[in-house]
Amino acid sequence: MIDYIIVGSGLAGISFSEVALLHGKSIIVFNNDSQNSSKIAGGLYNPVILKRFSEVWQAQEQLELMTDFYSNLRNRIEDKFDFKIPILRKFFSIEEQNNWFAASDKKALAPFLSTSLCFKKYEGIDSPFDYGEVLQTGYVDTALLLSKYQDYLSTLNLLRLETFDYDALTFKEESISYKDIEAKHIVFAEGFGLHANPFFNELPLDGTKGELFIIKAPELKLDVIVNTSVFILPLGNGLFKVGATYNWKDKTDLPTEEGKKELIDRICEIISCEFDIVEHYAGVRPTVRDRRPLVGTHENYKNAHVLNGLGTRGVMLGPAMAKALFDNIENDILLDKEIDIKRFTNKRKK
């Protein structure tokens, strides 16, 4: 008998897999590659919501845990995927500058917002009102991380590339059975695929479609991430990742002309040089209306658990939420009420 079956190998799935392995637990991971939001994610970690100049929920705790987590993970997969790089918020007015300084005076935001303007001029960008620098930022190459980690799991025969068959799952008093596997627990980390899961599909997972570009702009000389209505992330060799759009109605992972036009318009607001679109990607982020993850245990099956709803900040949230769920299962440490799925299941019972 193994300890965990983990369904899904996106950011949520590999985060829980790694936490379990670090604690000496045995696992089998299922991945059918149907959900690609982690692979096409921007991968930024940023402790500030720049649209409103407000703090990301539990940002400092998440950053600290994330730093150690990815450092250990890098040693395991022997490749660099975590890049420390500043994020600059381009200002479009004196009013935006003033709003920045007002936010930097707030206790919760002081560790993350530089109180000095960045006056550096970058070729290809007009910036008459300069920039504000966000601290403790960077990005994770999510496609590389997921690919390398899945390879790692494969070498240990811990990864199965097949669609999970919910009908083949049997719950027992102290374990579960799935085809040829006996396990103590099962963790569903399926992203937007949760809607097909008969055990957790009543949870209010919304799903927000996002579209991104890879562009080529040889005249754009940028060694930082610039973030306004979209982010522009340098990849090297004149290539940049640009994103992202937000569409709450379309739940497909197909690029659209509407998304393309929106991205082009926003790029043109930021840069002043020519660019070509190299790739156009789309995916559905697993989002929740209250902007908190979905973590917890099924109300009727004590061996079935969910880790989902990481939304646009999966890089930061994944390690922290995986640890919280593991500690809850193994050590009976209570989940934060803001992430516990009981906030929805209890309401349904009333």
| Pairing outcome for strands 138-140 and 44-45 | antiparallel
pTM of the entire predicted model? 0.94
Q: What's residue 177's pLDDT? A: 97
pLDDT in tens, 48-102: 998 888 999 999 999 999 999 999 999 888 899 999 999 999 999 999 999 999 9
- Distance, in Å, from the CA atom of 145 to the CA atom of 149, rounded to the nearest integer, reads 6
The mean per-residue pLDDT over the stretch 152-181 comes to 95
325 closest CA partner among 2, 57, 23: 23
What are 335's two structure tokens? Answer: 């989940």
Indicate whether 346 pLDDT > 90.
no
Q: What are the CA-CA distances from residue 27 to residues 161, 178, 181, 306 (Å)?
A: 14, 13, 10, 16
Indicate whether 350 pLDDT > 80.
no
Q: At 21, is the pLDDT very low, low, confident or very high (cuts 50, 70, 90)?
A: very high
Q: At 285, is the pLDDT very low, low, confident or very high (cuts 50, 70, 90)?
A: very high
Indicate whether 348 pLDDT > 70.
no
9 closest CA partner among 208, 165, 148, 178: 148
| Pairing outcome for strands 208-216 and 276-285 | antiparallel
Beta strand segments in the chain, E: 2-7, 27-30, 44-45, 48-49, 54-55, 82-84, 87-90, 131-134, 138-140, 159-160, 169-171, 176-178, 181-188, 208-216, 225-227, 231-236, 239-243, 276-285, 294-297, 304-308
Q: What's residue 349's pLDDT? A: 55
Q: What's residue 39's pLDDT? A: 65
Indicate whether 32 pLDDT > 80.
no
Q: Report whether 215 contacts 277 (CB < 8 A).
A: yes
Indicate whether 296 pLDDT > 70.
yes
Helices (H), the chain: 11-22, 59-77, 94-104, 142-155, 257-270, 314-331, 342-349
Q: At 35, is the pLDDT very low, low, confident or very high (cuts 50, 70, 90)?
A: low
- Size (the chain), residues: 350
Q: Report whether 87 contacts 225 (CB < 8 A).
A: yes
Q: At 152, is the pLDDT very low, low, confident or very high (cuts 50, 70, 90)?
A: very high
Q: What is the share, in percent, of the chain residues with pLDDT greater than 70?
A: 97
Indicate whether 347 pLDDT > 90.
no
212 phi and psi, to 5 degrees? -135, 160
Q: Return mean pLDDT, the chain.
A: 94
More confident residue, 350 or 253: 253
Domains of the chain and CATH, by start: 2-41+143-205+289-349 (3.50.50.60), 86-136+208-285 (3.30.9.10)
148 closest CA partner among 37, 39, 27, 285: 39
